[in-house]
Structure 1
Amino acid sequence: MAIEGQRPKWMEQMAGSPFTKNYFTTDMQEKIVRQINNDKANHRLFARRKLLISLVCSFMILFGGIGLLWKYTNVVDDIVQYANMGMSIGSKARQAQVNVFPDGGMTAGYKTTYLWVFERPLDQLKGSEMSVKAIYQPTGEVLNVVPSKIINESIRRTDNQTGVVTSFGLPYAGKWQLEVSLDGNYFADVEINAPEPDWTTSGSFQWNDMEFNGKENRIGVRGMDFEANNANKYMWYLKGSEDELSANRRVIAIQQNTGRVELIVDSLAYSIMSKENEQIESYIPCLMNLPAPGLWRLTVMTGDQLFDSIVVQVK
């Protein structure tokens, strides 16, 4: 029992080092002190270097940004001027002959508005016939997406540029080369990427007391549920302008994930049901067969022009 005012022996033993000899030598202490001092010096040097790099980057961004802003002031004007059209910056053509601005919601499988800004004044282009070929990079397939458009006016505000609006669709997701010609002569080409479209199955609507799957007042298909490798009769509903529906109509099917493409109808002969305000409503009976289960996008093409598309589930 410890006497009051005295420390017990076990406390004195606990206060001592647990080691039998001194491992933490003077030499070790000096090395640690030197390392700490070196670390502090390196930290200060790193901080100075970091500050210098930050200053250099800031100057590069400042002057580079001013240069880019000066160079692309007209492009910024385009974005502001056409914001209500959903335009976004597109790819720049080789030799800076023309810039293209696809609609901000552009995807494969649907028609899209494109603004072409030629780096030439209207008086040099007025009366020229513009055409555009779309070349699908993975396969080399060529579509005449703009067969002919006469340039008569410009929607640009500057005197040294000409703005032309076209509308067309690209059926497949991926890289496309858009080749622009004027009066039949090559002018420039642009590479763009068509994003993957939405693969939600299309909804239904009523037309003449019949139910169709698709988009009301535009496109739909009616018939049995789709079963792989089982041909059935179906009826298409199409509504559009006479120009849209006048060319040869065919249906291509694109499978989700695989990108497999099948021509399932090579010719659609339609019957006009009604015509109002230059819009034709038509129905088209046909036989269709899809080769595999899964989600398929049925895309109606009129000539080389994409009319519209719907998504169906195949069992």
Structure 2
Amino acid sequence: MSEEKPDWAKSMADPPFVIRQFTPDLKQKVLQYAGESHRKRFSTMKAVCVALVTASLVIGLLHLTEHALPYRVAPQGEASGGPTTRNAYYEQGRVLFTLYPEPNAEAGKIAGYMIHFEEPLETFIGKTLTLQAVHRLAGVKETVSSEIITKPSAGYPGLDRYTTHFALPLEGMWELHVLLDDQPYGNVQLFMRAPSWDVTPEFQSGSYMMRGVEKKIGFIDAGFIAGQPQKYMWHFWGNEDLLNGPFEVKAVKQGTDNIINVYSSNQVSSANALAGELNGADRNVVTSMKLPEAGRWRLLPYVKGRLLDTIVVEVLK
């Protein structure tokens, strides 16, 4: 038996409005408003997200352009300040590789280079990749790099960022030839800016003054008289990979591109031509050198076929 509710309770059962607030019509309007509001919020959020993603992509692309490559890719000829050069090699309409040189590379100074190879790693793995530079006017040939490819570029599936560094002895235009197992693969061009012909200053190491590049290479300068041989003690700074091998000195006179041989260790017995520590340097060697004519000369010291730097001297009559 249900207990009958009092009159006041019955009156409280109905809402205190003449018309119920949440009518079917109002319900539909609320749902419609909620849907529109949701869509507006979603559209707003979508627009914001698209804008953020777009901005991120643009910033990322700019970051990639500026930082993913070691140097900014300038229009041909701009980076070197010289004539137009060809820094990409094409075969049958497709690019095989592109060279990215360090801007303003100067003859006689070591500069960095990155090559982006397009073909897959299988093309190169287990093969010897050699870089040979040939001066277009003088015909001078330099093997600047040679190694067996055993792995891809760090963080890439192929040779996307093959890096190397080297110096070339003469200013002007060079052709850089890429060889795989001594077979031609392609070639690009490099332009070397003219170096300074000011006499290289001296620096002190130990108890001696040396002419050269401090903490890199130098010799105790006894002076040069044209046509007269003289002994010179060379000093070197660096690790074994850099300094183990035959040692030779070449030279070029100001105003010419004729490179002459000045000194060479025995190529057979001089696998380690340089002696040990001396006068604050890591290695040393005594040489006899003679320059044939008076004037400014640039000495070109090589270890294991690699140009270390250059030293300008004055030769007296």
TM-score exceeds 0.5: yes
The answer as to 2:67 corresponding to 1:81 is: yes
2:132 counterpart residue number: 133
Answer with 1 or 2: which has the greater Rg: 2
Instruction: Give the residue type in structure 1 aligned to 2:165.
Output: S
Matching of residue 270 in structure 1 with residue 274 in structure 2? yes
Deviation per residue, 1:255-310 (Å, 9 max, x gap): 11122322111228421117x9xxx7112111111122222111111233112211
RMSD: 2.9
How far is the alpha carbon of 1:253 from its aligned partner?
0.8
Identity score, percent: 26
Partner of 1:236: 234
Are positions 1:144 and 2:143 aligned together? yes
Q: Which amino acid aligns with 1:209?
A: S
Aligned to 1:253, the other structure's residue is in SS state strand
| Paired residue type of 2:244 | S
Secondary structure (helix, strand or coil) at the match of 2:261 reads strand
Q: Deviations over 1:185-236 (max 9, x none)?
A: 3221112222212222212111121110111110111132222222222111
CA distance in 1, matches of 2:143, 2:158: 28
Distance in 2, Cα, partners of 1:170 & 1:229: 27
SS in 2 for 1:211: strand
SS at match of 2:105: coil
Query: Any unmatched runs of 5+ in structure 2?
Result: 1-60, 75-85, 267-272
Candidates 244, 247, 250, aligned match of 2:245: 247
What's the CA shift for 1:117? 0.8
Name the CA shift for 1:147/1:124 in 2 (closer, same or farther; >3 Å): closer
Corresponding residue number in structure 2 for 1:164? 162
Measured after TM superposition, the shift of residue 87 of structure 1 is 5.1
Q: Which amino acid aligns with 1:313?
A: E
3-state secondary structure, aligned to 2:66 = helix
Q: 1: distance between equivalents of 2:227 and 2:65?
A: 48
Q: 2: distance between equivalents of 1:127 and 1:99?
A: 21
Q: Which residue of 1 aligns with 2:305?
A: 304
Please say if residues 120 and 162 of structure 1, whose CA atoms lie closer than 8 Å, have aligned partners that are also in contact: no
**2:104–2:193 contact (8 Å) kept in structure 1:** no
Aligned partner of 2:210 in structure 1 is 212
Aligned partners of 1:233 and 1:164: how far apart in 2?
41
Q: Distance in 1 between matches of 2:310 and 2:64?
A: 30
The 8 Å contact of residues 156 and 163 in structure 1, kept in 2 or not, is answered as no
In structure 1, distance between residues paired with 2:64 and 2:148 = 21
Instruction: State the aligned residue count.
Output: 235
Pick closer, same or farther for the CA change 1:80–1:309 going to 2, 3 Å: same
Indicate the residue corresponding to 1:282 in structure 2: 283
Q: 1:205 to 1:148 in 2, by over 3 A?
A: same
Contact 2:152 2:158 in 1 (8 A): no
Report how far residue 254 of structure 1 moved: 1.1
Q: Give the corresponding residue for 1:197.
A: 195
Per-residue CA shift, 1:63-99, capped at 9, x if unaligned? xxxxxxxxxxxx987651257x555547222432111
Q: Given that residues 107 and 197 in structure 1 are in contact (C-alpha distance below 8 angstroms), is that contact kept between their aligned partners in structure 2?
A: yes
